[in-house]
A and B are shown apart, each in its own frame.
Chain A
């Protein structure tokens, strides 16, 4: 195999979900395809590395500008039409996309960049929760929605956030947990079932 192709395949294999076979398939596809396709892919990857950073306000993905002195701000933070009174706290930038797709939330976001993870040495400091507290203290939110996953890590992080943000006297809510839409009760584990029963609501 020629060194250039070998290098490409090695780089592809480092991507999540791409094994040896997939890397080979992609590599040979690019060899056969129009050169413009490879150039476009290469340019997109370089752009991603050079022009995409974390939003300086919320931690979401943001496009940087040519002005190096200007801090990156994401599309949502710079949108004046968004609801200024509600803030939804999520784990990762891709969670923002998931909530946006639902169309039920039009407020602001804050991306933690992870959850409490003792084995990885990640706690309150590493998640920058002091910065989040300052952000909330200086804004006029009516409601903070904690949308971390209903795992032990997600619940523990949410419990910490509750303790951190309670003194700010702002309404704190937690997303509902239990059975997912379309799930079969027979196949649900007992933890999910218990949470679903505990989180039941009145039928109107």
Chain B
């Protein structure tokens, strides 16, 4: 029964009996690993702190060949993003990232890239970066990690360089000069194209971006991700609906 020492991000946890949990971990070498965390629901259990979603842990796992579930033997908390808990907006955004990571990471052949990308995104979110920008950064890079990011700077018809606004065919993963674009393409403004091109640079991430530019770029990456990955998107819209309740006058609430 091989013993594996690895770092991991806890993606999800659900109760197993009265005292244990099944945890879903994202690891850099093995991708998604599901494991039993015995005693993790006990207040004083060794694994209690290390089996909470969003935490980064140093894990010791017994991985049994042919078994779907590993056994989490040790879990030392390395990083617990505090702000993500104290701010419900960031928490829901982080949940969307975890949901996407869970859906996508089973498909990848480079789990280390997906692992470090999720960690970077969670750190950006914890650091206070706008949730829309973090999701944009995450999905853009995730698509690139899986070889699914379209070349925005070159027209698929004439091969010429595309500057400024661009038309994109989601299914074909191709970009076009507006005059060469086939029907049913998405148009992306020049500002959104520049933002997508510079997302890997911290200065671009930290720069003030207009809402229109971010939303245009986010719309494209969400569509690309939905087309290429089998996302369940249960978490989509939770933040908007929660905000709508805050904005609604209390006398309109049902009894």
Once the chains bind, are B88 and A151 in contact (CB under 8 Å)?
Answer: no
Q: Which of B85-104 contact A (CB under 8 A)?
A: 85-88, 91-92, 94-96, 98-99, 102
A189 to B58: give the CA distance in the assembly, Å. 12
Q: Which residue of the partner chain A has the closest CB to B242?
A: A124
The binding surface of chain A is classed by DSSP as helix
Q: Which of B26-77 contact A (CB under 8 A)?
A: 43-44, 46, 48-50, 52-55, 76-77
Contact flags B208-238 to A (C-beta < 8 A → 1, else 0):
0000000000000000000000000011001
Q: Which residue of the partner chain A has the closest CB to B78?
A: A190
A64 to B92: give the CA distance in the assembly, Å. 36
Once the chains bind, are B250 and A123 in contact (CB under 8 Å)?
Answer: no
Residues of A contacting B248 in the complex (Cβ-Cβ under 8 angstroms): 130
Contact flags A82-103 to B (C-beta < 8 A → 1, else 0):
0000000000000000000000
Once the chains bind, are B18 and A17 in contact (CB under 8 Å)?
Answer: yes
Once the chains bind, are A134 and B254 in contact (CB under 8 Å)?
Answer: yes
Q: Which of A136-195 contact B (CB under 8 A)?
A: 137-138, 151-157, 159-160, 163-164, 167-168, 180, 182-184, 187, 189-192
Q: Which of A111-150 contact B (CB under 8 A)?
A: 116-125, 129-131, 133-135, 137-138
B172 proximal to A (CB < 8 A): no
Once the chains bind, are B53 and A152 in contact (CB under 8 Å)?
Answer: yes
Interface size grouping (class) on chain A: 35 or more
Once the chains bind, are A191 and B245 in contact (CB under 8 Å)?
Answer: no
Q: Contacting B254 at CB < 8 Å: which of A131, A180, A183?
A: A131
Residues of A contacting B199 in the complex (Cβ-Cβ under 8 angstroms): none
A80 proximal to B (CB < 8 A): no
A16 proximal to B (CB < 8 A): yes
Once the chains bind, are A16 and B17 in contact (CB under 8 Å)?
Answer: yes
| A-B pairs with beta carbons under 8 Å apart, 13 shown | A17-B18, A118-B92, A119-B234, A123-B242, A124-B241, A125-B242, A131-B255, A134-B254, A134-B255, A135-B255, A159-B85, A190-B77, A192-B49
Kindly list the 7 A-B residue pairs having the minimum CB-CB distance in the complex, ordered from nearest.
A118-B95, A189-B49, A121-B234, A156-B91, A155-B85, A118-B235, A123-B238
